[in-house]
Amino acid sequence: MNLGQLEKLVLKFFWQTNVADAKQVYAYFEKSRGGTLNTIQSTLDRLFKKGLLKRDKEGHAFQYRAAKPRKAFIGELIKDVTHDFTLGDEDSILAAFVSISSELNVKQLDRLEELIQDYRSTISMKEES
């Protein structure tokens, strides 16, 4: 998925802020980034159309929020990229994760092992039910 710089910043904003309207987003970025309210409104609309933001109409304004948590979004990006380049070749996917893991420190590797073990436990419980 191709995202512009402002789109990325707005997504990060919504992962830190639960809900906001265009004026609140504009106020947040006005000092640090400049731009216009119209630019923010267009960016919010693009992110909504891409399925990355959800919105509800309250009064005259939309209230926006992230459509999915940051970790889920990053996971989907990785999955899309690996699928595009591996064409179902599981060894290529595993090799890519090993390559990424080579840049992790021991603490991060320990955490990764912990997350994998937690996921294995979840799978085992589902298979038993």
Q: Tell me which DSSP letter residue 105 carries.
A: -
**What is the rounded average pLDDT of the residues 80-104?**
78
Helices (H), 1-129: 5-16, 22-33, 37-49, 70-86, 90-101, 106-128
Checking if the pLDDT of 53 tops 80, the result is yes
pLDDT attached to residue 33: 87
Please check the confidence at residue 88 and state whether its pLDDT lies above 70.
no
The boundaries of every CATH 1.10.10.10 domain in the chain are: 5-66
| pLDDT exceeds 90 at position 94 | no
Could you give the 3-state DSSP secondary structure of residue 63?
strand
What pLDDT is attached to residue 1?
Answer: 74
Classified as helix, coil or strand, 128 is helix
Mean of per-residue pLDDT scores for the chain:
90
pLDDT 10s digits, 34-50: 889 999 999 999 999 99
For domain 5-66, the CATH architecture is Orthogonal Bundle (1.10)
